[in-house]
């Protein structure tokens, strides 16, 4: 099933489920910046929530806010039983340490999965795994290559694939061309998250390989992935209309799960 159809189906299932709940699941988003990309992401999350019947609350704070005052705002939400999930939209202004802030969100409400003790995995790798499982992808003893080692995508992705019994390798900016080509030629599952337009292109791939393209690269108002479209493989996720949709879906799934855990 295409990602678009899969996401539409899952959203419809969630909408039905939410319509039967007595207490409305509620998501709060704290936004401290006002850049166009963050505004677009926040708007998308609020729209997804509304479509499913989840109440979204946006708390926009002044960009000059101190770290201490931001933590006070976070604690207000941590202590508010009517709010089940909290996102602090990144990036944050220079005066605020993002790593400190990630640790301030109550792990039970941390639907982004950024806190090390969070009840949730980060949304992008979780969304990818859920989709591949729905597509009946075999993981055991498959060679998985993850390109990129960020804390929100590459590292958790590699951990999750390893837990699914893949033979997992992480490649990164210091990997040589020779090794990159050697690992790619033997890979059954490739996840690329580096932010370089069409980095995967002329290399050799197995023709039954799966390429999951996480990259988002903006050029002249258009979006491009980290892989050239239509490579000679069995399955390649598109950009746009691919992993971004899975990430947004997973955020809503996490919110519902947080809701059930908290209203118990």
Annotated active-site residue in 48, 106, 110, 112: 112
| DSSP of 9-71 | HHHHHHHHHHHT-SSPPEEEEEE----HHHHHHHHHHHHHHHHHT-EEEEEE--TT--HHHHH
Please give the Cα distance from 63 to 194 (Å, whole number). Answer: 28
Q: Give the orientation angle of helix 3-19 with respect to helix 243-263, to 10 degrees.
A: 20
| Identity of the residue, 55 or 196, whose beta carbon is nearer to ligand NAD in the bound complex | 196
Q: Is the dihedral of CA 33, 38, 43, 46 positive or negative?
A: negative
Annotated active-site residue in 10, 11, 31, 89: 89
Q: How far is the CB of 10 from ligand NAD (least distance, A)?
A: 16
| Peptide bond preceding 111 in cis form (omega within 30 of 0) | no
Please give the Cα distance from 148 to 193 (Å, whole number). Answer: 5
By Cβ distance, which residue is nearest to ligand NAD?
195
| Identity of the residue, 187 or 243, whose beta carbon is nearer to ligand NAD in the bound complex | 243
Q: How far is the CB of 79 from ligand NAD (least distance, A)?
A: 30
**Dihedral pair phi/psi, residue 257, rounded to 5°:** -65, -40
- 234 tagged catalytic: no
Residue matched to tokens 């677009």: 40
* Torsional class of 213: left (φ above 0), alpha (ψ -120 to 50), beta (otherwise): beta
- 261 tagged catalytic: no
How big is the chain by its Cα radius of gyration, in Å? Answer: 19
Question: Which residues here bind ligand NAD, judged by CB under 6 A?
Answer: 124, 147-150, 152-154, 171-173, 175, 193-196, 214-217, 243-244, 247
| Identity of the residue, 46 or 71, whose beta carbon is nearer to ligand NAD in the bound complex | 46
Annotated active-site residue in 10, 11, 45, 109: 45
Q: How far is the CB of 157 from ligand NAD (least distance, A)?
A: 9
Q: How far is the CB of 181 from ligand NAD (least distance, A)?
A: 12
Which residues are CB-contacts of 22 (< 8 A; sequence separation ≥ 6)?
A: none
Work out the end-to-end distance of the chain between its first and last CA atoms, rounded to an integer number of angstroms.
35
| Identity of the residue, 83 or 211, whose beta carbon is nearer to ligand NAD in the bound complex | 211
| Identity of the residue, 116 or 195, whose beta carbon is nearer to ligand NAD in the bound complex | 195
- 142 tagged catalytic: no
Q: How far is the CB of 105 from ligand NAD (least distance, A)?
A: 18
Active site residues: 45, 89, 112
């Amino acid at each position: 099933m295409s990602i678009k159809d899969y996401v539409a189906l899952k959203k419809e299932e969630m909408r039905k489920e939410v319509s039967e709940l007595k207490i409305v699941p509620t998501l709060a988003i704290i936004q401290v910046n006002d850049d166009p990309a963050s505004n677009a992401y926040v708007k998308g999350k609020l729209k997804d929530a509304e479509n499913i019947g989840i109440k979204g609350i946006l708390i926009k704070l002044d960009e000059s806010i101190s770290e201490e005052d931001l933590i006070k705002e976070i604690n207000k939400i941590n202590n508010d039983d009517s709010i089940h999930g909290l996102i602090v939209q990144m990036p944050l202004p220079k005066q605020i340490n993002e790593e400190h802030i990630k640790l301030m969100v109550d792990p039970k409400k941390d639907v982004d999965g950024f806190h090390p003790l969070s009840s949730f995995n980060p949304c992008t790798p979780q969304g990818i795994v859920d989709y591949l499982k729905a597509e009946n992808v075999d993981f055991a003893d498959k060679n998985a290559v993850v390109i990129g080692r960020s804390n929100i995508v590459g590292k958790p992705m590699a951990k999750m694939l390893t837990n699914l019994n893949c033979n997992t390798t992480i490649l990164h900016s210091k990997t040589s061309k020779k090794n990159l080509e050697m690992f790619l030629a033997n890979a059954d599952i490739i996840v690329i998250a580096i932010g370089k337009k069409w980095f995967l292109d002329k290399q050799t791939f197995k023709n039954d390989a799966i390429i999951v393209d996480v990259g988002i690269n903006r050029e002249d108002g258009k979006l491009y992935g980290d892989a050239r479209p239509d490579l000679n493989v069995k399955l390649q996720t598109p950009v746009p209309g691919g992993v971004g949709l899975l990430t947004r879906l997973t955020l809503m799934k996490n919110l519902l799960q947080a809701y059930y855990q908290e209203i118990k």
